[in-house]
């Protein structure tokens, strides 16, 4: 490796929005580096990606950062894996902890993109979950009244 | 015995229990200690380590985390008061504050309830009864129903459609027992009416154990203004000025200010007079707030009375100089309104200062203000002259889904609105919160809006019409990515240097959870294009 300092980095953001962007750190000014509130987060076990929480004007992101060449290799591997299991099945998970307030669909039902599937009540509000794509409801993993944590599996859409 | 005004010797109570949690519990504990009263906190299992538990002189566990099994249990609250020998209970806002059941139980247990009489609570808690009372007192009410809707029985949907047609669209479905925007739906056309009414009724039944809903005309481009009222046991009521709370989402307030901008002395006196008329009609004692709409023609329309301390009471305190919780405690102990309060009320139509409050909640303003629970990993409050922060959380607090997402209220006061706004910009810029998404970005945006700065945009639908977070999130994301990459590169260089220095034997680790910031704000446009280059490359890859 000749020049560590000049290489580009892939930044994958989650939180206020999900996006990936390539950045040349050499072009980032000191003010741009220190303006946002940046906190180191623990790396996932075995991962060489650095993780930060970054807050900009109150918007909160979690940033996962790795050298671009490494990210590109991983992308290729992931694409190959996707091609091997070609399918449009998606497992919908709870985006917030709460209580399942309503279930509008049942197994076998055909839904269109944007149809209401179920609602989670959190902080006394009903938060509706809608279908990300058209499909058939293959599995409903929760019932009305169930308490769910973040990322609990709710429903499988085929 | 005669109670002389302004000769309050001693203290209103020896010991007072606060039937609430979070920032309002802390705020009431502070007032107790100001007056030499001991404060008893109550807590659920989720709040055992909360700041309000530590701040109190004594804390009593009242049940598991869900509010229905803790903060909403009248029997547990009364038991805690008995066991702690508290003479009085302050309910705060929300939870049991407007429930006649707690006030009744207090009376039965010979405990003073810091709030209006149970009969007043019952009359005002039913929004329909309150509308009837206001109308009978000659106070203009928003056009709409005075009786609840029937949401079952043969032909109820047709009946509902005819009733709605009589009032006119757009309209609001409101919960008779409601508050805080829950059980409320805006309906723009007949097609969605029945579903909206049913869903509002369900939400109302879950939140208030009262499924009754009614219809009210939705007044477009209206402002939300409200009058702070105090009443003593001796028949005196006073209006301590008004607040503007027009900036709302989902009918929940985001920002409040006192006084309401743009009103002249004549309008203020009229508004305060309407509030006092309602207060007298219901025989108000203790503290309450009468809410009104101000339509574009300058007319006030009665909405409802909140018979409790409001979340936003602090802005009135900053302008009037009156500590409303102190006054609540003195009133509850039987004292008449003081000369200081009456003088503040007399001056309320000509206010000499301006105060603003921002609500910082664990909600994602980029995703329709959806709840965003999590653990607060970083918490730095602003401070300084004429700055007040009422917070209920600290680093390490787990913000769960069991309770209201309000974390803190940032307040400032200035000689006028422009001075207060300028101070608030600085205050908001120095707020540091990590771990959860909050409403702070919305406030950053709002304070920069010309239509907010000159008050011309104040209207309850301002957020719906103007708040478009996507471009703001996008710009913030690019700045976040730049900062993250720069930090990663620096850390990587440090590790390499360390590894070289140590002959490659060990790798020093970067301290976790450390933070850096120098307060300067960054603009990607000035950077010479690191981000543009990155985006171009990504786009090229997709092509």
Q: What pLDDT, on a 0 to 100 scale, did the predictor assign at position B181?
A: 73
> Does one domain contain both A17 and A74?
yes
B148-176 pLDDT, tens digit per residue, is 999 999 999 999 999 999 999 999 999 99
Nearest to B403 by CA among B93, B192, B121: B93
Q: Is residue A4 part of a domain?
A: no
CATH superfamily ID and name for B223-467: ATP-grasp fold, B domain (3.30.470.20)
Nearest to B249 by CA among B498, B522, B464, B63: B464
Distance CA A155, CA B251 (A): 31
CA quadruple B480, B483, B489, B494: dihedral sign: negative
Q: What pLDDT, on a 0 to 100 scale, did the predictor assign at position A87?
A: 58
SS3 category, B118: helix
> Does one domain contain both A76 and A23?
yes
Establish how many alpha carbons lie within 13 A of residue B299's alpha carbon, considering only the half-sphere containing its beta carbon.
11
Cis peptide before B170, with omega less than 30 degrees from 0? Answer: yes
> Does one domain contain both A80 and A94?
no
Locate tokens 């399942």: which residue?
Answer: A100
List of chain A residues whose C-beta atoms are within 8 Å of the C-beta of residue B486: 23, 25, 28, 32-33
Q: Dihedral angle at the C-alpha atoms of B284, B287, B292, B294, nearest 10 degrees?
A: 130
Provide the CATH topology of domain B143-217: Dna Ligase; domain 1 (3.30.1490)
CA quadruple B336, B337, B343, B345: dihedral sign: negative
Establish how many alpha carbons lie within 13 A of residue A144's alpha carbon, considering only the half-sphere containing its beta carbon.
8
> Does one domain contain both A80 and A17?
yes
Q: What pLDDT, on a 0 to 100 scale, did the predictor assign at position B250?
A: 82
B416-433 pLDDT, tens digit per residue, is 999 999 999 999 999 999
Distance CA B275, CA B300 (A): 10
The ipTM value here is 0.87
Q: What pLDDT, on a 0 to 100 scale, did the predictor assign at position B371?
A: 93
Q: What pLDDT, on a 0 to 100 scale, did the predictor assign at position B180?
A: 67
CATH at residue A153: 2.40.50.100
> Does one domain contain both A74 and A106?
no
> Could you give the residue range(s) of every CATH 3.30.470.20 domain in chain B?
223-467
Question: Structural domain of residue A53, as residue ranges?
Answer: 9-84
- Strands ordered across the beta sheet of B213-217: B185-187, B171-175, B213-217
The answer to whether B441 contacts chain A (CB < 8 Å) is yes
**Pairwise CB contact (< 8 Å): B437 & A42:** no
Distance CA A84, CA A74 (A): 16
Strand B38-44 relative to strand B370-371, pairing: unpaired
B475-514 pLDDT, tens digit per residue, is 999 999 999 999 999 998 888 887 777 654 443 334 444 4
Contacts of A100 (CB under 8 A, 6+ apart): A118, A119, A120, A121, A142, A143, A144, A145, A146, A147, A148, A154
Distance CA B204, CA B213 (A): 8
Which DSSP string do the residues of B245-283 spell out, in sequence order?
A: EEEEETTEEEEEEES-TT--HHHHHHHHHHHHHHHHHTT
**Rounded to 5 degrees, what angle do the CA atoms B262, B251, B44 make?**
120
> Does one domain contain both A117 and A69?
no
Q: What pLDDT, on a 0 to 100 scale, did the predictor assign at position B503?
A: 58
> Does one domain contain both A143 and A95?
yes
Q: Is residue A2 part of a domain?
A: no
Q: Is residue A1 part of a domain?
A: no
List of chain B residues whose C-beta atoms are within 8 Å of the C-beta of residue A11: 480-481, 484-485, 488
Q: How many domains does chain A have?
A: 2
**Pairwise CB contact (< 8 Å): A28 & B482:** yes
Cβ atoms of residues A89 and A138 within 8 Å:
yes
Which region among A80-89, B473-482, B522-531 has the lowest average model confidence (pLDDT)? B522-531
What secondary structure, in 3-state letters, does B310-345 show?
A: CCCHHHHHHHHCCCHHHHHHHHHCCCCCCHHHHHHH
Share of chain B above pLDDT 90, in %: 83
Cβ atoms of residues B143 and B134 within 8 Å:
no
Of B491, B518, B538, the CB nearest to A50: B491
- Asked if the model's pLDDT at residue B44 lies above 70, the reply is yes
> Does one domain contain both A18 and A43?
yes
Domain boundary at A27, A58, A84, which? A84
Q: Is residue A54 part of a domain?
A: yes
> Does one domain contain both A117 and A75?
no
Residue A70, judged by CB atoms within 10 A of its CB (0-12, 13-18, 19+), counts as: middle
Domain boundary at A47, A69, A84, which? A84
pLDDT, mean over chain B: 90
- Asked if the model's pLDDT at residue B105 lies above 50, the reply is yes
Q: Is residue A74 part of a domain?
A: yes
Distance CA B92, CA B352 (A): 28
Domain boundary at A84, A102, A122, which? A84
B268-282 pLDDT, tens digit per residue, is 999 999 999 999 999
The answer to whether B7 contacts chain A (CB < 8 Å) is no
Cβ atoms of residues A122 and A97 within 8 Å:
yes
> Could you give the residue range(s) of every CATH 3.30.1490.20 domain in chain B?
143-217
> Could you give the residue range(s) of every CATH 3.40.50.20 domain in chain B?
15-114
The answer to whether B241 contacts chain A (CB < 8 Å) is no
> Does one domain contain both A97 and A38?
no
> Does one domain contain both A59 and A27?
yes
Q: Is residue A94 part of a domain?
A: yes
Provide the CATH topology of domain B15-114: Rossmann fold (3.40.50)
The answer to whether B136 contacts chain A (CB < 8 Å) is no
Which DSSP string do the residues of chain A spell out, in sequence order?
A: ---STT--EEEEEEESS-EEEEE-GGGS-HHHHHSSEEEEEPPPTT---EEEEEEETTEEEEEEEEEHHHHHHHHHHHHHHHHHT----EEEE-SS-EEEEEE---TT-EE-TT-EEEEEEETTEEEEEE-SS-EEEEEE---TT-EE-TT-EEEEE-
Per-window interface: A 27-86 vs B, CB < 8 A: 27-29, 31-42, 50, 52-61, 63, 65-66
The answer to whether A104 contacts chain B (CB < 8 Å) is no
Q: What pLDDT, on a 0 to 100 scale, did the predictor assign at position A98?
A: 87
Helix B74-83 crosses helix B100-108 at what angle (to 10 degrees)? Answer: 40
> Does one domain contain both A52 and A118?
no
**Binning pLDDT at 50, 70 and 90, where does residue B526 land?**
very low
């Amino acid at each position: 490796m000749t020049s560590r300092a000049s290489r580009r980095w892939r930044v994958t953001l989650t939180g206020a929005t999900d996006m990936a962007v390539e950045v040349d750190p050499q072009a980032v000014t000191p003010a741009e580096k220190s303006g946002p509130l940046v906190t180191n987060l623990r790396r996932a076990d075995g991962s060489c990606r650095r993780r930060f929480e970054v807050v900009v004007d109150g918007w909160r992101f979690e940033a996962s950062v790795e050298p671009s060449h490494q990210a590109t290799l991983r992308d290729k591997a992931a694409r190959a894996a996707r091609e091997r299991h070609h399918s449009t099945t998606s497992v919908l998970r709870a985006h917030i902890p709460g209580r399942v307030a309503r279930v509008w669909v049942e197994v076998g039902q055909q839904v269109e993109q944007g149809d209401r599937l179920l609602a989670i009540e959190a902080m006394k509000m009903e938060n509706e979950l809608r279908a990300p794509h058209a499909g058939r409801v293959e599995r409903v993993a929760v019932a009305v009244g169930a308490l769910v944590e973040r990322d609990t599996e709710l429903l499988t859409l085929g | 015995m005669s109670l002389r005004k302004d000769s309050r010797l001693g203290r209103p109570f020896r010991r007072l229990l606060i039937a609430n949690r979070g920032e309002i519990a802390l705020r009431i504990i502070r007032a107790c200690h100001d007056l030499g009263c001991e404060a008893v906190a109550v807590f659920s299992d989720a709040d055992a380590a909360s700041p309000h538990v530590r701040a109190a002189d004594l804390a009593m566990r009242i049940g598991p985390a869900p509010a229905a099994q803790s903060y909403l249990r009248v029997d547990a609250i009364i038991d805690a008061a008995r066991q702690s020998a508290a003479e009085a209970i302050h309910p705060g806002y929300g939870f049991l504050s407007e429930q006649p059941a707690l006030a009744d139980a207090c009376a039965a247990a010979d405990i003073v309830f810091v709030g209006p009489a149970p009969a007043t609570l019952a009359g005002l808690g039913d929004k329909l009864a309150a509308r009837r009372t206001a109308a009978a007192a000659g106070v203009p009410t928003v056009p709409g129903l005075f009786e609840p809707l029937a949401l079952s029985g043969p032909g109820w949907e047709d009946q509902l459609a005819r009733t709605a047609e009589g009032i006119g669209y757009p309209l609001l479905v409101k919960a008779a027992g409601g508050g805080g925007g829950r059980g409320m739906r805006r309906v723009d056309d007949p097609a969605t009416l029945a579903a909206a009414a049913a869903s509002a009724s369900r939400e109302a039944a879950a939140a208030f154990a009262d499924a009754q809903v009614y219809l009210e005309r939705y007044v477009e481009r209206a402002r939300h203004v409200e009058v702070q009222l105090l009443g003593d046991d001796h028949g005196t009521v006073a209006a301590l000025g008004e607040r503007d709370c027009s900036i709302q989402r989902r009918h929940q307030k985001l920002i409040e200010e006192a006084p309401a901008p743009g009103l002249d002395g004549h309008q203020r006196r009229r508004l305060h007079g309407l509030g006092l008329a309602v207060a007298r009609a219901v025989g108000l004692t203790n503290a309450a707030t009468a809410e009104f709409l101000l339509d574009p023609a300058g007319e006030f329309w009665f909405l409802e009375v909140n018979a409790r301390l409001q979340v936003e009471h602090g802005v009135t305190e900053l302008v009037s100089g009156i500590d409303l919780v102190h006054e609540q405690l003195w009133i509850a102990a039987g004292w008449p309104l003081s000369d200081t309060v009456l003088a503040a009320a007399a001056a309320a139509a000509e206010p000499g200062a301006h105060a603003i409050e921002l609500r910082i909640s664990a909600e994602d303003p980029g995703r329709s203000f959806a709840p965003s629970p999590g653990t607060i990993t970083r918490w730095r409050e602003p401070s300084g002259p004429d700055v007040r922060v009422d917070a209920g959380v600290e680093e390490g607090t787990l913000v769960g889904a069991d309770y209201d997402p309000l974390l803190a209220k940032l307040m400032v006061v200035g000689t006028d609105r422009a001075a207060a706004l300028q101070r608030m910009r600085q205050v908001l810029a120095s707020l540091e919160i990590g771990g959860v998404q909050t409403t702070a970005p919305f406030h950053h945006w709002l304070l920069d809006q010309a239509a907010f700065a000159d008050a011309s945009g104040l209207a309850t639908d301002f957020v719906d019409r103007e708040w478009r977070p996507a471009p703001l999130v996008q710009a913030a994301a690019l700045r976040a990515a730049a900062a993250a990459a720069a930090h990663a590169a620096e850390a990587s260089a440090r590790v390499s240097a360390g590894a070289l220095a140590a002959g490659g034997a060990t790798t020093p680790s970067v301290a976790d959870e450390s933070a850096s910031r120098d307060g300067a704000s960054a603009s990607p446009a000035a950077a010479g294009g690191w981000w543009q280059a990155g985006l171009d490359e990504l786009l090229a890859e997709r092509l």
